[in-house]
Amino acid sequence: MVYLSMSSDEWFRRTTWTEEDRSDFNARLKRTRKHNRPQYLRIQAAHLAGIGNHAAALELLEQFLGVDDASLELAQAQLQRAESLLATVNEADAIDAFRASLNAERARPNVQTETWLLYPWYIVETQNEQLYSEAHAILREFRELRSSAFPVSDYRFHCVKAVLLAHEGELAEARTHAEQALVAANAEHSGYRYHPESGLVQDTDTTVHQRVSEIAAV
């Protein structure tokens, strides 16, 4: 096998996915240590999802599930599956992947992803009221285990809480969370000296933000 010329880590960070890319990637993957393969698959999937090639990302993540043995990569890989499945309008499987990500975190509490915020966000964004109780339960369970490291995490948490509480008629408490969400949305510094712009809220042009703004104004 003649490999394409690239640096030691570029082979699993490709932003193209031709037949030649796929063949070269798999050939290189076979030469790596077995315990490293899940990470390489997940990272390559993330790069392809980043350019919108969700079909290829899902192909690699399915391959990941075939070689993974409950590694530290599993929770993040399932979150990536959920996001790519949503991008390909496969909502039922995306929900299963979100739940699988949370279960992987429960099995390894030292592993932390943003699934505990992103899945409830998806629930309120799609106004799937049948899952509102599940969203509540997830926030209660994981809020005690996870710290909101950046303004965007605080924003997502308070947005979801505001929408859920407003749905239950708890308007005063919902308004408090909505106001806290808007404060987080307007933050201009992450709170970290060396990464002042990391984790800031970038997109407020969403139906969730509009709803939260309405709740704050009540």
Q: What is the pLDDT of residue 204?
A: 95
pLDDT of residue 157 exceeding 60: yes
Instruction: Identify whether residues 212 and 151 lie together within a single domain.
Output: yes
Instruction: Identify whether residues 55 and 106 lie together within a single domain.
Output: yes
Q: How confident is the model at residue 168 (pLDDT cuts 50, 70, 90)?
A: very high
Instruction: Identify whether residues 37 and 90 lie together within a single domain.
Output: yes
Q: By C-alpha distance, which of 186, 183, 179, 168 is closest to 215?
A: 179
C-alpha count within 13 angstroms, C-beta hemisphere, residue 7: 4
Instruction: Identify whether residues 148 and 188 lie together within a single domain.
Output: yes
8-35 CB burial, b ≥16 within 10 A, e <16? eeebbebeebeeebeebbeebbeeeeee
Q: Which domain holds residue 127?
A: 114-218
Instruction: Identify whether residues 74 and 140 lie together within a single domain.
Output: no
Instruction: Identify whether residues 45 and 151 lie together within a single domain.
Output: no
Last residue of a domain, which of 70, 88, 113? 113
Contact 77, 68 (CB under 8 A): yes
Q: State percent of the chain over pLDDT 70.
A: 94
pLDDT of residue 1 exceeding 80: no
Total domains present in the chain: 2
Model confidence pLDDT, tens digit, residues 115-153: 999 999 999 999 999 999 999 999 999 987 776 678 999
- Which ranges of 108-197 would DSSP assign to H, the alpha helix? 115-125, 132-143, 151-167, 171-185
More confident residue, 111 or 120: 120
Instruction: Identify whether residues 107 and 121 lie together within a single domain.
Output: no
Instruction: Identify whether residues 153 and 201 lie together within a single domain.
Output: yes
pLDDT of residue 188 exceeding 60: yes
187-202 CB burial, b ≥16 within 10 A, e <16? beebeeeeeeeebbbe
> For the whole model, what pTM was predicted?
0.91
Model confidence pLDDT, tens digit, residues 8-27: 679 999 999 999 999 999 99
Mean predicted confidence (pLDDT) in 58-84: 92
Instruction: Identify whether residues 133 and 206 lie together within a single domain.
Output: yes
